[in-house]
Structure 1
Amino acid sequence: MTTAPDQHRNGHVPAPDLPDRLRAVRGVVFDIDGCLVLGDKPGGHGGRALPGAVDAVAAIRATGRPVVAFTNGSSQVPADIAAGLRLQGFDLADDEVLTPAVVAAEVLAERYGDQPVLVFAGPGLVDVVAAAGVVLADPDRPTDAAAVLVGWDVGFTRDRLQAAAEAIWNGAPMLVASDARRFASASKPMAGVGGFIAQGLSYVTDTEYEVLGKPSDTAMLVAARRLGVAPADVLVAGDDLRLEVSMARRAGGVGVLVTTGVHGRVPVGEIAADQMPDLVVDALSELSARMLLADATASDPVNAPTALPADRVGA
């Protein structure tokens, strides 16, 4: 069986205007696990760069477009993740790595000010929100909490469940760093901890929760602000249709599925309309090649970044 020249092996055919849309991209968000690297823990910890990924990121940055790497893992602080990525060859500064903790720090500060927030997570989340000035609630006084934030808490015990439930029963909203079911690793799919806790709390308290990490609109806005461009001018590349691709689509940006992680070569007929990628590639080198080709056919160079909207992140 043969495919058309521009048809991916999963049956996906890019829209005719894809070169124009790639040319219009002003900033790029890369997922980490299953897109840039494959490791044994979230954030590419202890992993290896995927073939061609280092050069692809460098090539896209060389076009003048800013880039960030965004993982839904919150077990490490962004600076530690960035250091690990640099060891694997990626030229990424500490402030070019985003996690749900970065989003949470902005949201909690804006919404709750000096009101205490009950946080269940490891240092990768707790340290980041505390450094941003968020007041941490005392687990022994859960009804004082203005909100509950759930992250990657491998020590979530019966006592913590009770404290979180009491806070939520008392009216505190539940925020979740990420409820991703799984993420790609070097050896096998790894189960998501935060989503497991959040689903359990949702059941116990009969309360819905708000996701702050990918694919939330809030996460996209924070990423776009870090890039200095509007959300609609962002390309998001990742291995998860539910996370990176859907986040890009809702913002009006470009969503690219990389088949090196969670979703692989999903038959196009099985993809929901709101998760349909604009482009499917088997390696990031294919994406950088397409972007360079699109730029080469432009009559004008890449324009200056579009001004950002004045919307508040935590609104």
Structure 2
Amino acid sequence: MDGTIALGDSKSGGHRALPYAIAVLETLKAAGTPFVVFTNGTAKPPAAYAQSLRNAGFPVEDRQMLTPSSSAAIWLAKTGLTKVRVLGNAGCAAPLIDAGLEVVGPSEAAEGVQAVYTGWFREFDFDALEAGCHSLWNGARLVTASNVPFFATENGRAIGASYPINAMLTAMTRKRPRILGKPSRVAFETALGVMGLPRSAAKHMVVVGDDPALEMRMANDAGALSVGLATGVMSVDADLPEHSRPSCLLADLEPLLTTLRGG
């Protein structure tokens, strides 16, 4: 989302549409083509992100908006890890609570924690670090929304919260995080499910994004078409490894809009 169709607007606290982005989604909607918007941010619940995009002019329904916590909730429930310490804010925890998981607060005393889930948490402190470490030392699995250091904003790149939190937890416990947001297969298959598509549809999917380590890698790993944009983290002259290299790299969304309109 950020750097692909919109950028965070610090003045309004919402989002500002990037050129041609609203028209792309309107064209998809008019054609009846299923799509989802998948942000790797967890600062807000999915419905709040959807509302922010609608305020910016995007035709996005709540059900079409996904965050890593959307896919994390599904995976944790399927795996049977139902007691989860969330090192994240309320927006990060909301989809897990909605899925019926038992959510433990960042520094809350608790026994029997089965997983520690990291996400957007700028309020992270030593108490949360210590509580998370104790849960991991006692057998909990470490899972995360995202493990990339940066994301795109209107003022350039910003530091993602979960990356440094994961680094501290791994340094203290030697446990490495399993990623449940992009670029994981869990995230990709969650998107397929929301669109009502079978796994076999992956080769017919198009994934559009600005981050080679996230959307491009996810698409390439799943066998989908990867369309990169130089409107966020990625640059037009980026020298990328094959697994993170887009099938095509665009300066903006205009060529994609032209293609969708049959031009």
Q: Provide the TM-score with structure 1 as the length reference.
A: 0.78
Greater Rg, structure 1 or structure 2?
1
Amino acid at match of 1:262: V
C-alpha contact (below 8 Å) 2:231/2:251 kept by paired residues = yes
1:60 positional shift = 2.6
In 1, the alpha carbon distance for the partners of 2:204 and 2:138 equals: 41
Structure 1 counterpart of 2:236, from 250, 265, 268: 265
Percent of residue pairs identical: 33
Q: RMSD of the alignment, in Å?
A: 1.8
Secondary structure at the residue paired with 2:228? strand
1:48 positional shift = 1.1
C-alpha contact (below 8 Å) 2:27/2:260 kept by paired residues = no
In 1, the alpha carbon distance for the partners of 2:184 and 2:13 equals: 24
C-alpha contact (below 8 Å) 1:122/1:153 kept by paired residues = yes
Structure 1 counterpart of 2:55, from 84, 87, 105: 87
Q: Which residue of 2 aligns with 1:136?
A: 103
In 1, the alpha carbon distance for the partners of 2:236 and 2:13 equals: 25
Structure 1 counterpart of 2:204, from 210, 233, 241: 233
In 1, the alpha carbon distance for the partners of 2:103 and 2:20 equals: 42
Task: Give unpaired runs (5+ residues) of structure 2.
Answer: none
Secondary structure at the residue paired with 2:218? helix
The structure richer in strand per residue is 2
Structure 1 residue 125 corresponds to structure 2 residue 95? no
Q: Which residue of 1 aligns with 2:258?
A: 289
Amino acid at match of 1:259: A
C-alpha contact (below 8 Å) 2:208/2:228 kept by paired residues = yes
**Aligned positions of 1:1-315 closer than 5 A:** 32-40=1-9, 45-112=13-80, 115-137=82-104, 139-229=107-197, 230-267=201-238, 270-293=239-262
Secondary structure at the residue paired with 1:246? helix
C-alpha contact (below 8 Å) 2:47/2:62 kept by paired residues = yes
How far does the alpha carbon of each residue in 1:245-282 deviate from its partner, in whole angstroms, 9 at most, with x for none? Answer: 11001110010101111112134xx1111112111112
1:164 positional shift = 0.6
In 2, the alpha carbon distance for the partners of 1:245 and 1:85 equals: 23
1:172–1:87 distance in 2 versus 1, CA, 3 Å: same
C-alpha contact (below 8 Å) 1:142/1:164 kept by paired residues = no
How far does the alpha carbon of each residue in 1:188-225 deviate from its partner, in whole angstroms, 9 at most, with x for none? Answer: 21111111101111111111110110000100000111
1:233 positional shift = 2.4
Q: Which residue of 2 aligns with 1:300?
A: none
Q: Provide the TM-score with structure 2 as the length reference.
A: 0.92
In 2, the alpha carbon distance for the partners of 1:217 and 1:83 equals: 27
Secondary structure at the residue paired with 2:69? helix
C-alpha contact (below 8 Å) 1:177/1:194 kept by paired residues = yes
C-alpha contact (below 8 Å) 1:47/1:186 kept by paired residues = no
C-alpha contact (below 8 Å) 1:142/1:166 kept by paired residues = no
Task: Give unpaired runs (5+ residues) of structure 1.
Answer: 1-31, 297-315
* Structure 1 segments of 4+ aligned residues over 6 angstroms from their partners: none
C-alpha contact (below 8 Å) 1:55/1:285 kept by paired residues = no
C-alpha contact (below 8 Å) 1:236/1:245 kept by paired residues = yes
Amino acid at match of 2:230: T
Bigger relative contact order, structure 1 or 2 (CA pairs below 8 A, ≥6 apart): 1
In 2, the alpha carbon distance for the partners of 1:277 and 1:63 equals: 25
1:40 positional shift = 4.3
In 1, the alpha carbon distance for the partners of 2:13 and 2:256 equals: 24
C-alpha contact (below 8 Å) 1:224/1:234 kept by paired residues = no
C-alpha contact (below 8 Å) 1:53/1:283 kept by paired residues = no
Secondary structure at the residue paired with 1:47? strand
1:137 positional shift = 3.2
1:142 positional shift = 4.2
1:291 positional shift = 3.8
1:211–1:238 distance in 2 versus 1, CA, 3 Å: same
